[in-house]
Amino acid sequence: MKRFFHLLGFRLFLGVAVTVAAATTLFTMFLVDWQSGKYISAAQQSATNISDLISRSTRYSMLLNRREDVYEIIKTIGKEPRIERIRIIDKKGIVNFSTQESEVGKSVDMNAEACIGCHSTGKPVVPQNDPTLTRIFDSPKGYRVIGVITPIRNDAGCAASSCHAHSASQTVLGILDVMIPLQEVDQNIAQFEQTQIIGSLLLFAVLTGFVSIFIWRMVNIPVKKLAVGTQEIVKGNLDHRIDVQTNDEIGSLAISFNQMTQELKRARKELTAWTQTLEQRVSEKTEELRRAQKHMVQIEKMVSLGTLAATVAHELNNPLEGILTYAKLLRKKVGRGTPSAEDTQEMIGELTLIADETARCGNIVKNLLLFSREKVGEFKDSDLRFIIGQSLRLIDHHLKMNNIISEVKIDEHPVILYCDAHQLEEALLALEINAVEAMPAGGTFHIAVKELTYLNAVQIDITDTGTGIKEDEMPHIFEPFYTTKKDGKGTGLGLSVVYGIIERHSGSISVDSKPGIGTTFTITLPRQSAPQEPGASPH
């Protein structure tokens, strides 16, 4: 209901209805007042005509001083039903004759409604322009009466009469007061007023009904269609059209609305096409980035293998020399003929040594093959202790050859991460090799693992006591192909690959370094993380 009062159509209807009501009310009041005046004027004219009739009918009798004839004429006329009362009042205010006999001979109060018009100032005033005076008053019987007073003037014929001549200076001899009841007039006025009110109400009802239908058809329905159209656009239905067949402003608005909808539909098609093209290009670029990062990881892996190659070759050389020596000894012993029991035991021991050294070489080669093999990343729960241990096993001999002491601080219980263990191992190995290369004269290599319970994450600190990183180089160390290594020893991909791997694990990596003192890389990894698409670079 409250919403109904806020409708545009209702407001228009209310404004028109109030205007029509005011106009019909004013017109009805004017018409009733005008018609009432016409009725009163007719009654006044009737009273004036009766007064004139009496004056003309009694003139001759009055000149002959036949009062009985005068009174009889007046009495006869006074019997007319439309006449309330007729009386003659002399100049002194004495009622000389009246159709109401009870007031004959009585004096009239000069302040009464019949006299106040001329005697209000105390001195009689004779009207010059209007020969009659009219007043309307309430009768004691409860209805209105109109009274017309006609002065009885002392004309030349009357002044010259020998019977009852008056002084020529006396202009007025008395008055003739004719009173007519307004019962019928008031009834006609009331009936006319009632008829006009009913007619005005009917006119108001017809006009407001017509206006309401007009507003409903010309305003409400088109506006509702416009509102429905806007709602359809909000829902995304750009095929909706507004059917408003009018030649007014609302029709123009509907046409503009349909044109706007058509333009929006065309624009949406263009945006959809651009979006699809953009999505395809983003997908292609993402795939290119994934391949590029995969290639970068593999390149860095090969670089790491190259770095380890000399160490591994030296590590393989010792057991291979032992194997070769024992093989030659066994060949000599076998060439001597059937070995004795003592020689057989020695040969078994030597074969055992050969088998152990061969297994040792096999493990070294196996670890290198496992590390160098290109694997598809897979996120699963892994123990961080195992990942760190695996990376340290790959550089164990490398640490020893460079006189570097490794220290690992990690809890004894499993530290489980949801991660790609192989990629995380590659990232740790790259940082470990960088740390070893930063300590050419030897030093201490430290790995510490902290469990950040409040963040549900793990922090890994990798610290070396090497040469450190210059302050102006710090902002660029994670950029691809940026390297501080001399003589072409670095590709500039190591730390960039590390950054990409950590980013893929929804983690973060930061560095703190002081030249001549050492460097600490801090990695923070969430325990539960979804694999992220690789970025091009950290900047």
- Is 35 found in the same domain as 173? yes
Contacts for 72-78 with beta carbons within 8 Å, 24 or more apart? 74/99, 75/99, 77/50, 77/53
> What is the structure's pLDDT at 458?
95
Question: Which strands, in side-by-side order, build the sheet including 133-138?
Answer: 95-98, 85-90, 172-181, 144-153, 133-138
Among 170-174, 175-179, 481-485, name the one with the lowest average pLDDT.
Answer: 481-485
Q: For residues 82-106, give the mean pLDDT.
A: 82
Tens of pLDDT, residues 435-449:
888 898 889 999 999
- Residue 315: CATH number of its domain: 1.10.287
CA distance 154 to 166: 7
Q: What angle do CA 269, 275, 281 make, to 5 degrees?
A: 140
Average pLDDT over residues 44-73: 77
Is the residue at 59 inside a domain?
A: yes
For residue 36, tell me if it sits in a domain.
yes
The pTM for the full model equals 0.43
Q: Which of 500, 518, 517 is nearest to 509 (CA)?
A: 500
The pLDDT of residue 520: 95
Provide the CATH number for the domain around residue 447: 3.30.565.10
Q: 151 in a domain, yes or no?
A: yes
Q: What is the mean pLDDT of residues 364-378?
A: 59
What range does the domain containing 330 cover? 279-374
Q: Are residues 65 and 35 in the same domain?
A: yes
- Weakest-pLDDT range from 360-369, 435-444, 463-472: 360-369
| Mean pLDDT to the nearest integer, 88-108 | 81
Q: Is residue 271 part of a domain?
A: no
Q: What pLDDT does 211 receive?
A: 84
The residue among 61 and 168 whose pLDDT is bigger is 61
Both 365 and 428 in one domain: the answer is no
Residue scoring higher pLDDT (508 or 362): 508
pLDDT band per the 50, 70, 90 thresholds, residue 488: very low
Q: Are residues 391 and 351 in the same domain?
A: no
> Of 331, 349, 374, which one is at a domain's C-terminal end?
374
pLDDT in tens, 104-125: 888 876 666 555 556 555 555 5
Q: Give the DSSP letter string of 100-158.
A: SGGGTTPBPPTTSTTTHHHHTTSS----SS-S-EEEEEE-TTSSEEEEEEEEEE--HHH
Q: Does one domain contain both 363 and 485?
A: no
C-alpha 247, offset from chain centre: 31
CA–CA separation, 452 vs 525, rounded Å? 10
* CA–CA distance, 40 with 181 (Å, rounded to integer): 11
Residue finishing a domain among 189, 219, 240: 189
Same-domain status, 67 and 146: yes
- Is 229 within a domain? no
Residue 457 φ then ψ, to 5° = -140, 175
The answer to whether position 527 is within a domain reads: yes
Residue 382 pLDDT grade (very low, low, confident, very high; cuts 50, 70, 90)? very high
Q: 491 and 528 share a domain? A: yes
For the range 527-530, what are the long-range contacts, defined as Cβ-Cβ under 8 Å and sequence gap of 24 or more?
A: 527/416, 527/417, 527/418, 527/456, 527/457, 527/458, 528/418, 528/456, 529/379, 529/418, 529/419, 529/505, 530/379, 530/506
What pLDDT, on a 0 to 100 scale, did the predictor assign at position 372? 57
168 with 295, same domain: the answer is no
Question: Mean pLDDT across the stretch 370-393?
Answer: 78
| CATH label of the domain that carries residue 92 | 3.30.450.20
Residue 202 falls inside a structural domain:
no
Of 355, 374, 393, the last residue of a domain is 374
pLDDT digits (tens, 9 = 90+) for 207-244: 888 888 887 777 777 777 777 878 887 887 877 777 77
State whether 147 and 182 are in the same domain: yes
More confident: 6 or 278: 278
Pick 42 or 533 by higher pLDDT: 42
Q: Which residue has the tokens 């010792």?
A: 318
- Gap between the Cα atoms of 118 and 135, Å rounded: 12
User: How many percent of the chain have pLDDT more than 70?
Assistant: 74
Does the structure show a pLDDT above 80 at 363?
no
For residue 447, what is the DSSP state?
Answer: E
Q: Which residues contact 440 (CB under 8 A, 6 or more apart)?
A: 402
Asked if residue 440 and residue 361 are part of one domain, the reply reads no
In this structure, is residue 515 part of a structural domain?
yes
Asked if residue 293 lies in contact with residue 500, where contact means CB atoms within 8 angstroms, the answer is yes
Q: The tokens of 246 are what?
A: 């009018």
One domain for residues 443 and 455: yes
Q: What is the pLDDT of residue 383?
A: 93
Looking at per-residue pLDDT, the higher value among 450 and 98 belongs to 450
Reported in sequence order, the residue ranges of 154-220 that DSSP labels E, i.e. its strands, are: 172-181
- Which long-range contacts (C-beta less than 8 Å, at least 24 apart) are formed by 72-75? 74/99, 75/99
**Average pLDDT over the chain, rounded to whole?**
78
Of 155-159, 340-344, 428-432, 469-473, the poorest mean pLDDT is in: 155-159
* Same domain flag for 438 and 413: yes
**Residue 539 confidence (pLDDT):** 45
**Candidate from 58-62, 417-421, 534-538 with smallest mean pLDDT:** 534-538
Region 396-415: mean pLDDT is 87
pLDDT of residue 492: 46
